Amino acid sequence: MNEKIFPLTEDQLRKLIKKYPTPFHIYDEKKIRGNFARLRKAFEWNPGFKEYFAVKATPNPRIVEILANDGAGTDCSSIAELIISQRAGVTGEKIMLTSNDTPADEFQKAFELGAIINLDDITHIDYLEKAAGFPKILSFRYNPGSIIRGNNIIGQPEEAKYGLTRDQIFDAYRIAKSRGVKRFGLHTMVVSNERNTDAFLTTARLMFELAVEIKNRIGIDLEFINLGGGFGIPYRPDEDPVDFDAIGNGIRELFFEILPPAGLEKISLRTESGRAMTGDAGWLISTAIHEKHTYKDYIGLDSCMANLMRPAMYGAYHHITVVGKESAPRDHVYDVTGSLCENNDKFAIDRQLPKIEMGDLIVIHDTGAHGHAMGFNYNGKLRSAELLIRESGRIEMIRRAETLEDYFATLSF
């Protein structure tokens, strides 16, 4: 179980929307810092542990800064994300580039920043050498194939476009070593929005055993193992959060069972969590502007799927509360819709909610990760502002809303 709380009172929110009209996403600094503290604590037994925040979840330099001030680096997969990291003060090996189908200029930018480059394919060794040369430290993304099962969001590893096969991974380290690279890491990312402890232990065991095999076969002592992101959050109120203590303890046991006997006790662990850092620390705030009763009962919001794509794209559940009616009986059944000319533009289908009046403020929960970030301009919809509740209680606008001028900026009429 988890409680779906929005941190502002109705009065505070009504005051806020006079200055910043709906829709907008709003984030909570304190909650983000608390989420990261929990992850850090789970791995505090590993002296070199580092979280590389997956910038794609919430690509805003103010958010990256909050995590960086507490010791996080960044996981990037585009030039824009590399620049966001740089602007937020994250540089050098505190950045990891994990992209796929990577263009030359992306490798060049990562190289220029001194980032750790994580290659997605064996052919990228030559490609990188040509595009930028070799960085001091190189990592490879492992795809375990049929050895393990993925999950619904990320799919089965064998069907995934990411990473090197088991055979390729040994060749890749051999080739890179022969070209003079001296420092190495190993990476994987095989689950997404996963809350089950065992899934993370399975991945850890697989990676630790692979590290030992790489040492035995190629003579490389890996410097780090990056276990990826994929820590889930309980989108539904009846779901339990990830048990970070159990994951940390379980991985510690596997670490000491497998790595020190092979002389690999110095390996540092890395994660690149996005969702578990910011997901439950963000909310999409909208106003109910239409009520429609046809074959079903609809509530139309002033936001749409362009502001939050997850329900339409994945059928994802996002909890909804009506401001001021948090404890009112949920005795109405609504489809809560946006305004796109797409019938899947629905934040919720057949959702039990209190009776909604026009002008009611609607809070969609858990939009802090892969929310605004996945926004788009289809149907000429504009992306919303992003606000941040500082620990002091002060509220800052950390991204303004797009304007029609922004939308038309790439056109010549």
Ligand X SMILES: *Cc1c(COP(=O)(O)O)cnc(C)c1O
Q: What is the DSSP string of 99-153?
A: -SS--HHHHHHHHHHTPEEEESSTTHHHHHHHHT---SEEEEEB--GGGS--BTT
Task: Choose which of 25, 62, 275, 318 interacts with ligand X (CB under 6 A).
Answer: 275
Cis peptide upstream of residue 23 (ω within 30 degrees of 0): yes
CB nearer ligand X, residue 103 or residue 133: 103
Task: Choose which of 228, 234, 300, 311 interacts with ligand X (CB under 6 A).
Answer: 228
Residue 208 interacting with ligand X (CB under 6 A): no
Residue 234 interacting with ligand X (CB under 6 A): no
Task: Choose which of 184, 200, 224, 231 interacts with ligand X (CB under 6 A).
Answer: 231
* Alpha carbons 314 and 87: distance in angstroms, whole number: 32
Q: Tell me the residue length of the chain.
A: 413
Residue 150 interacting with ligand X (CB under 6 A): no
Q: Identify which range of 50-58, 82-90, 233-241, 332-340 contacts ligand X by CB under 6 A.
A: 50-58
* Alpha carbons 270 and 68: distance in angstroms, whole number: 15
Task: Choose which of 22, 86, 98, 303 interacts with ligand X (CB under 6 A).
Answer: 98
Instruction: Residue 188: count other Cβ atoms within 10 Å of its Cβ.
Output: 26
Residue 195 interacting with ligand X (CB under 6 A): no
**Contact 197/243 with Cβ under 8 angstroms?**
yes
Residue 282 interacting with ligand X (CB under 6 A): no
Residue 388 interacting with ligand X (CB under 6 A): no
Site residues for ligand X, 69-88, by CB under 6 A, read 75
Site residues for ligand X, 363-382, by CB under 6 A, read 369
Query: Smallest gap, in angstroms, from Cβ of residue 249 to ligand X?
Result: 20
CB nearer ligand X, residue 143 or residue 193: 193
Q: Identify which range of 124-132, 262-270, 273-281, 316-324 contacts ligand X by CB under 6 A.
A: 273-281
Query: Smallest gap, in angstroms, from Cβ of residue 229 to ligand X?
Result: 3
Residue 345 interacting with ligand X (CB under 6 A): no
Kindly report the three-state secondary structure assignment for every residue of 29-96. HHHHHHHHHHHHHHCCCCCCCEEEEEHHHCCCHHHHHHHHHCCCEEEECCHHHHHHHHHCCCCHHHEE
Q: In Å, how far are 9, 133, 144, 182 from 174, measured between CA atoms?
A: 59, 17, 19, 11
Q: Which residues pair with 387 in a beta bridge?
A: 26, 397
Residue 54 interacting with ligand X (CB under 6 A): yes
Query: Which residues contribute to the site for ligand X (CB under 6 A)?
Result: 54, 56-57, 75, 98, 189, 192-193, 228-231, 272-276, 369
